Structure 1
Amino acid sequence: MKDQPFNRRALLQSALGTGAFFLLPRLSFAQDAAEQQGAQPFSWDSLTDTARTLAAAPYQPPEIADRDVLEQVDYDRHNEISFRTDNTIWKDAEGSSRVQMFFPGRYFKDPVRIFTVADGMATEVPFDLDLFDIPADNPARALGQTKGFAGFRVQDPETDLDWMAFLGASYWRTSGHTGQFGLSTRGLALNTAIPDGPEEFPIFTSFWLERGEGSDMTAYALMDSPSVTGAYRIVSHRENGVIQDVTARVFLRQNVERLGIAPLTSMFWYGKNSRHLAPDWRPEIHDSDGLQILTGSDERIWRPLNNPPHTMANAFQAPSLKGFGLMQRERDFNEYQDDGVFYEKRASAWIEPQSDWGDGAVMLVELRTDDEIHDNIVAFWQPGEAAQAGTEHEFQYKLSWIDDAPISAPMGRFIATRLGAGGVPGQPRPKDVIKLVCDFSAPGLAPDDEPSLNITASDGHIFNEAVRPIVGTENWRATVDIDFAQMNTEQDNPIDLRIYIANKDMAVTETLLLQLFPSQLRKLLANTP
């Protein structure tokens, strides 16, 4: 599931965080060159027709000119290249977001053409070495045939800070509600974590950028890959976060075993439920801490993320899905203690279908990681029908980069899950028994209520259930012991738990889904004195 042979996450953080990529075209040069080429008519329908026509022809890999030279432009040499700051696209348009280009290199070789659109006419911004300041000894100076950029970033008109970037395959990110970049999305996921592999990464080969009101912007994109083509329209608006209306028109060249719609990519190293898995001193490290789903029947599901011992792909059936997203619920700095990257400020990303997507499932793919530099979490929606060659699909959804899921929360929700040794303090601890502790909010409960823990487990033995208020707070705590002594020590099949809290036979919380691995539980207990 690696999207680049290099650490894409670290490279993009450098581009957006430290300002290492200063890659802006000189506006006057670009305008002069474009006027010589001439503007061409452009529309959303014409882009759709282009994608449809492209899908009917055999796939042609992008021509990567100067491949050997690009290979020499590695991370360090790439960071030496800077833009000429006085020539940002739309810099002189009052209130408009500004656009700057990313330079190609070893980790972004595919050429990306970029156009601006005004009054139905598209004008290309041609790539040229003269658009950049490049040190005399930098191998990038030898580029002679390259015809495209690596991508682009969008800046705030008042602060010049980045708030959106498209870079690599069909990935893009925004700064969310705090100005802090975190998780990513992409146009499409193809065959993610299937047994036979490998995963396929479609690329956005061309963009058409159009100014909206104020800092709003619409990005149109053409997608291409061996299996699919696509036309994308991404309308971006900023209000207490970044809100994007996405329309994806997808055309299949080949059968696709696992078609992933509206994929989100994030990082989870460890959290409250997995502190024992990492040697780091910080309490938690993650861009997202859980998958949230709102089903067609209005069931609210919360699935804390894992750093599993091996790759896991789980499907959550969700016909007529109302929404899903990767959330960052923990917002307390003290739970991270990181004053460099501020994980508590990372945005949550919520997908809301704008029509009935029909039968299908939300897929969650989790990969093992031993560091925070790797994106190891993917979530997307997979249609129930087989993705067959020659078929066309349209998906419309709202993508919100905000603090929390934009849905009402009439029920309580789980705010923390923790694991520890089972048994009773002061008595001998039973072997291979862990205690699960789930803290939850419950606005509908009174102090004298006696709610119950409703729990089912795919394996192991459940006992010692209890639910009580947390003294000094408005929250509640549920605890339960899980005996996994009889489970096979070699297969390491997970224990799947389904939990909710009820009061007088009525659910008062969302549904909590957990997946626990015996090998990791034994590691936790091995650390017990």
Structure 2
Amino acid sequence: MKRRSLLKASLALGTYGLPLGGMLMSSACAAGGAGDHVDFDYVDVMAAGMSHAAYKGAEEKLPPTLANLTPQQYSAIRFDPQQALWRNRLSTQFFHVGMGFRQRVRMFALDKDDRAHEINFSTQLFNYSGAGVDEKAVDKAGDLGFAGFKIFNSGFGGPGDIVAFLGASYFRAVDKTGQYGLSARGLAIDPAIGGKPEEFPYFTHFWFREPAADSPTCTVYALLDSPSVTGAYQFDIDCQSERVVMTVRMKLHVRKPIERLGIAPMTSMFACGTNERQVCDTIHPQIHDSDRLSMWRGNGEWVCRPLNNPDTLQYNAFADTDPKGFGLVQTDHDFNSYQDTVDWYSRRPSLWIEPLNRWGEGSIDLAELPTTGETSDNIVAYWRPKTPAQAGDTLEYHYRLYWSALPPVSSPLASVMATRTGMGGFTEGWAPGDHFPNEWCRRFAVDFSGDALKALPANAPITPRLDVSWGEVRDLQVLPLPDNGYRVLFDWYPTSQQTDPVSMRLYIAHDDSALSETWLYQYLPPAPERRRYTR
């Protein structure tokens, strides 16, 4: 969660990788065999063997000149583009170890016969101008490995990096805007458990298969290791015209029981949006990488869950069987919604997960943590199997990740376009002025829109189906919007002094037929002493 500022600095680097130059390579492979033939099964055999041995850990003790770098100094270390891997449309550069990135990651290039050749670290691969690094001390430290890598593409809206793997098992990709946003991870272990530290698995080895000439696709194999699990991964990365698509195959070997296993985890940031704006005391109307969790459930239901920035950790689990897809989505790409010319939240991609094999019973879990600004990731979402992982288990998952402005699929029904909240207890169009309502309440406005509403006959009755877990709903209304949309408006009143979260569920219907996806929301009412209006 504290890595966002590091990523912000490191991923700002980005000169296009040129053809392979003087890259330093050897034929010694990680398993000890020179020039081993590497494929997914090879990496899986390594992972399975490691799972039967005690975890050793791999964080390196870096020389102070690297360990004590500031983000600005770390950003100044630049990989020499003349040393980039591959000569084709795609090329690869590597991140230097340093600052918070202390894990030694080993990199291997595969030749045309898929034989491995290790890419050796050398100060000759980097430009340290302006970084304040003692190069002699770095040379003396020996082979430090690398911290991660970036893949560049010459034909995707101009030269630029499109994929970055950096830190633990984190990685990110862009869409056609070239703007990074939320992160994915290889695996999450015990995230958001109060009083228990989260375990962060690491990708410790990567193998790069050279893409065909002028091809926009490549394959990367990865080995994952942690105290609780080992794993083999295959990433087939496809740089399409509008987006980056990754097909992931993963096989896990469990060392010890895991209370909360997160498959296909995503990490994002939500400071404030249209629903809650208490943190937006800035020039920016909204600040977020993602505004909702979208779910296409196994039974075909589409669900929209707007994100929150709560005062305390909130954890929700949405039970499902064989989900069809889910993701953290940035629906609003209008510059005027953010007024941001630095981080460009209007350009942030969404991330959609499409399972490719049957995932069985489990839940899509969402953790929301408090944040006071845009420098801390505070949103985590992932799939959690119903049966906790036990020592000796082998688990295999196939899925596809779409990094694009919007998910590749959408509900045939009307979609939730916006969620807004504010002061309630008065008639819309009549400002309270000096006469505030006698009772404190909260007003909600949920907007639905989509082609499904265009086929309705004129003046067709629209019925809101709303349920709340506690409290009282008053003044429930349906108001027409321009362009074949409807707004459901209602006030929620507390009926007790409790501060338990209020779970809300809403969709609109006509003649008992659902017209929209389902809106789920969790409202966190203030303490009783704060339930008053102030001028």
Give the AA of the match of 1:438. V
The CA distance in 1 between the partners of 2:43 and 2:507, in whole Å, is 47
Deviation at 1:133, TM superposition (A): 2.4
Q: Residues 62 and 98 of structure 2 are in contact (CA less than 8 Å); yes or no, is this contact kept in structure 1?
A: no
How many residue pairs get aligned? The number is 513
Mapped pair 1:421 → 2:423? yes
In the alignment, structure 1 residue 205 sits paired with structure 2 residue 204: yes
Identify the residue that residue 334 of structure 2 maps to in structure 1.
332
Q: Match of 1:75?
A: 71
**Contact kept? 1:11, 1:75, Cα under 8 Å:** yes
Alpha carbons 2:497, 2:527 under 8 Å: kept: no
Equivalent position of 1:147 in the other structure: 144
Q: Does 1:515 align with 2:522?
A: yes
> Would the alpha carbon gap of residues 226 and 84 (structure 1) be closer, same or farther in structure 2, given more than 3 Å must change?
same
Matches within 5 A, 1:22-171: 27-31=20-24, 33-34=25-26, 39-62=35-58, 64-66=60-62, 68-90=64-86, 93-95=87-89, 97-118=90-111, 119-135=113-129, 137-139=132-134, 141-143=136-138, 144-158=141-155, 159-171=158-170
Deviations 1:150-202 (A, max 9, x none): 10101112443110000000000001232110001010000001134110000
Letter in 1 for 2:50: L
The answer to whether the aligner puts 1:17 opposite 2:27 as a matched pair is no
CA distance in 1, matches of 2:163, 2:460: 48
Flag the 1:35–1:381 CA change in 2: closer, same or farther, 3 A: closer
Q: Residue in 1 aligned with 2:460?
A: 449
Shift of 1:221: 0.4
SS at match of 1:162: strand
Matches within 5 A, 1:30-429: 30-31=23-24, 33-34=25-26, 39-62=35-58, 64-66=60-62, 68-90=64-86, 93-95=87-89, 97-118=90-111, 119-135=113-129, 137-139=132-134, 141-143=136-138, 144-158=141-155, 159-213=158-212, 214-239=215-240, 240-425=242-427, 426=430, 429=437
Structure 1 CA distance for aligned equivalents of residues 393 and 354 of structure 2? 24
Is contact 1:55-1:228 (8 Å) kept?
Answer: yes
Gaps in structure 2 of 5+ consecutive residues:
none
TM (norm. structure 1) is 0.92
The letter for the 2-side match of 1:293 is M
Q: Is the 8 A contact 1:39 1:124 kept in 2?
A: no
TM-score, normalisation: structure 2: 0.91
The Cα of 1:46 is off from its aligned counterpart by 1.0
Shift of 1:113: 0.5
Using the TM superposition, name which of 381-390 and 340-349 deviates more. Answer: 340-349
CA contact (8 A) 2:365 2:381 kept: yes
Query: Which segment drifts farther, 229-238 or 401-410?
Result: 401-410
Please report how far the alpha carbon of residue 75 of structure 1 lies from its aligned counterpart in structure 2 after TM superposition.
2.0
Deviates more, 1:419-428 or 1:289-298: 419-428
Native 8 Å contact 1:497 1:515 kept in 2: yes
Larger mean CA deviation between 137-146 and 507-516 belongs to 137-146
**Contact 2:425/2:439 (<8 A) preserved:** no
1:442, distance to aligned residue in structure 2 (A): 4.4
Partner Cα separation in structure 2 for residue 496 and residue 512 of structure 1: 11
The one of 477, 500, 507 equivalent to 1:493 is 500
Q: 1:94 & 1:24 partners in 2: Cα distance?
A: 10
For the 8 Å contact 2:104–2:145, the answer to whether it is kept is yes
Shift of 1:134: 2.5
Measured after TM superposition, the shift of residue 141 of structure 1 is 3.8
Deviation at 1:356, TM superposition (A): 1.2
Look up the SS of the partner of 2:117 in the other structure: strand
Preserved CA contact (<8 Å) 1:25 1:83:
no
Inter-partner Cα distance in structure 2 for 1:117 and 1:522 = 65
Residues 224-263 of structure 1: per-residue CA shift (max 9 Å, x gap): 0100100000101022201110011011101000000000
Distance 1:395 1:27 in 2: 34
2:452 counterpart SS class: coil
Distance of 1:161 and 1:440 partners within structure 2? 37
Q: Could you report, residue by residue, the CA deviation over 1:461-483 in whole angstroms, capped at 9, with x for unpaired residues?
A: 1111111212x432111101110
Partners of 1:480 and 1:364 in 2: how far apart? 26
Cα separation, 2, equivalents of 1:523 and 1:124: 61
Provide the secondary structure at the position in 2 that maps to 1:450. coil
Change (3 A) 1:404 1:371: same
**Among 415, 428, 431, the residue aligned to 2:439:** 431
What one-letter code is carried by the residue in structure 2 that aligns with 1:477? R
1:40 alignment partner, SS class: coil
How many angstroms apart in 2 are the aligned matches of 1:521 and 1:324?
Answer: 36
Q: Is the 8 A contact 1:318 1:361 kept in 2?
A: yes
1:454-504 per-residue CA deviation (whole Å, 9 max, x = no partner) reads 11111111111111212x43211110111015232xxx3111101111111
TM superposition shift of 1:82: 2.6
What is the aligned-residue identity percentage? 37
Alignment gaps of 5+ in structure 1:
none
> Partner letter of residue 206 of structure 2?
F
Aligned twin of 1:469: 480
The answer as to whether partners of 1:351 and 1:400 remain within 8 angstroms in 2 is: yes
Q: Is the 8 A contact 1:129 1:141 kept in 2?
A: no
Alpha-carbon distance in 2 for matches of 1:510, 1:521? 33
Letter in 2 for 1:512: W
Distance 1:377 1:195 in 2: 15
SS of the residue 1:206 aligns to = strand
Aligned to 2:493: 483
Once the two structures are TM-superposed, the CA of residue 115 in structure 1 deviates from its matched residue by 0.6
Moved more, 46-55 or 422-431: 422-431
Q: CA 1:209 to 1:146, structure 2 compared with 1: closer, same or farther past 3 Å?
A: same
Question: Which range moved further: 243-252 or 189-198?
Answer: 189-198
Which residue is equivalent to 2:448? 440
